[in-house]
Structure 1
């Protein structure tokens, strides 16, 4: 791969996915796009560049972007954002929305589904308190390939071992050969949709809680600022945004501000106050009275 070809691919990926690759990441392009070349019967990365510059092949373009996308995820990843959801965000959102009896939650970088399914498990745990509520759990990702896996809800033994309590595996999964499939009731709770965060997403509507974790780290500062500003536009005035531990809004947008009590939690800068902390008993998964259904009353 020549320097010109490398520069083209860097710019190509930046434009289509927001991925900002430094010159030290040249090896990453070579290792991840090699299989794409073989898949489309191209002799080299140079041939791939020529093809991308030529007649548009949507399947090839999608394959290039998805090959470079990092899809590292696991159930209840980093744990704290999920404890925060159970103990603070969900109770506070329910108190604020008691009149409407509707909640909207968005996982903006859902990958293969472990994050939204982790939230779905906690919503199912809270089903007795949510009786009669409409809960929309929307999950989006750039990659259609990972969304297909998420919708199927089928995971390897290694994947269900990562972060998932044993009692949750027994309760919510069934073994299918050497894999594990999450229950149909949990799969039905999540509305998976393809979405590129670089593109407009105001059509999704307004959300009470947004998880956008561990994706902004791959963007440059202007792209981060743009995405954060638009996330603010999709967040309710009293809503909550959760970012990854290595991510922040500071220096990137003045529309959002950190909640001083909880690392990784952000609220609208215009909000009159931060969410009130209400601690709930420890423990993540307890028996529920009935399954929660997405977008219908309980």
Structure 2
């Protein structure tokens, strides 16, 4: 049984590094998430793992603990609505604004193992005839090197491709390798994966026309949400969009964004009129 002091220590360190809020009644979460890490690192118990983390001068183990506690749940075309909004509402508006030879930059923040940015890449590839010479750059980031390596490889199990992918897309955009599926090179080449912690400075990433930051802020406290939203707004183009999860909102947290009327989870820069695509 993990002691309350150890839970408090891990919670404080995880919050410091990732913004993740863990209450002291989440001992069961630590048990389930840290037991595999303790075994992989050769420790006889979770308590021994935490003890080593307290003595680690380089914070390597603490970062591993933080990554293990972070939620990396994702799947292809998760929730559908954001992708429908992107295709039916955002893409036509930005295409007209940027012109046939323009470019659109997209950021998928906290991308985990890559299913979200690859879903967008597949959709854009399928829309190529309609969007013409419009150029796209998809930047996908996460704080966890382990999931980023998986994302870069673009190799998924049968279970992973069955979650959200229609059989037509699987056949069109993947190559089977034994009992796994690898995304074809043209789709992988459309996504640039980078390590980035949302709690750290990301002003050097430049301006984005669309930012996907879904199911991330729900794990932060109010002050952290406000800080992250403020910095996201600074990276959003004046006529750009922020897409959040269905259970998330900017209301009461940010004056930089305003909801797009009738479009749940979709936000534009405050003071810039947004409406449904014609």
Please give the TM-score of this superposition, normalised by the length of structure 2. Answer: 0.95
Which residue in the other structure is 1:110 paired with? 111
Distance 2:175 2:145 in 1: 25
1:92 is the counterpart of 2:90: no
Per the TM alignment, residue 228 of structure 1 is displaced from its structure 2 partner at its CA by 0.9
Per the TM alignment, residue 157 of structure 1 is displaced from its structure 2 partner at its CA by 0.9
Q: Does the 8 Å contact 2:139/2:192 carry over to 1?
A: yes
Which residue in the other structure is 2:39 paired with? 38
Per the TM alignment, residue 224 of structure 1 is displaced from its structure 2 partner at its CA by 0.9
Structure 2 CA distance for partners of 1:130 and 1:151, relative to 1, 3 Å: same
Q: Does the 8 Å contact 2:13/2:62 carry over to 1?
A: no
Which residue in the other structure is 1:277 paired with? 277
Structure 1 range deviating more: 116-125 or 127-136: 127-136
Alignment of 1:206-285 (within 5 A): 206-271=207-272, 273-278=273-278
Structure 1 range deviating more: 254-263 or 96-105: 96-105
Distance 1:124 1:58 in 2: 41
Runs of 4+ in 1 over 6 A off after TM superposition: none
1:162-189 C-alpha deviation (Å, 9 max, x unpaired): 1111110111111100011111100000
Alignment of 1:27-106 (within 5 A): 27-98=28-99, 101-106=102-107
Per the TM alignment, residue 99 of structure 1 is displaced from its structure 2 partner at its CA by 7.5
Per the TM alignment, residue 133 of structure 1 is displaced from its structure 2 partner at its CA by 3.1
What runs of 5+ residues in structure 1 fail to find an aligned partner?
279-298
SS in 1 for 2:26: helix
Per the TM alignment, residue 38 of structure 1 is displaced from its structure 2 partner at its CA by 2.5
Q: Does the 8 Å contact 1:116/1:190 carry over to 2?
A: yes
Per the TM alignment, residue 8 of structure 1 is displaced from its structure 2 partner at its CA by 0.7
Which residue in the other structure is 1:176 paired with? 177
1:14-44 C-alpha deviation (Å, 9 max, x unpaired): 1101110122311101221122223333343
Which residue in the other structure is 1:26 paired with? 27
Structure 2 CA distance for partners of 1:83 and 1:223, relative to 1, 3 Å: same
Structure 2 CA distance for partners of 1:99 and 1:75, relative to 1, 3 Å: closer
Distance 2:167 2:106 in 1: 26
Q: Does the 8 Å contact 1:120/1:189 carry over to 2?
A: yes
Q: Does the 8 Å contact 2:256/2:270 carry over to 1?
A: yes
**C-alpha RMSD of matched pairs (Å):** 1.6
SS in 1 for 2:129: coil
1:215-270 C-alpha deviation (Å, 9 max, x unpaired): 11111111111111111111111101000000000111111111112000011113
1:127 is the counterpart of 2:125: no
1:201 is the counterpart of 2:202: yes
1:104-134 C-alpha deviation (Å, 9 max, x unpaired): 0010021111110110011112223444333
Q: Does the 8 Å contact 1:106/1:210 carry over to 2?
A: yes
Distance 2:236 2:72 in 1: 24
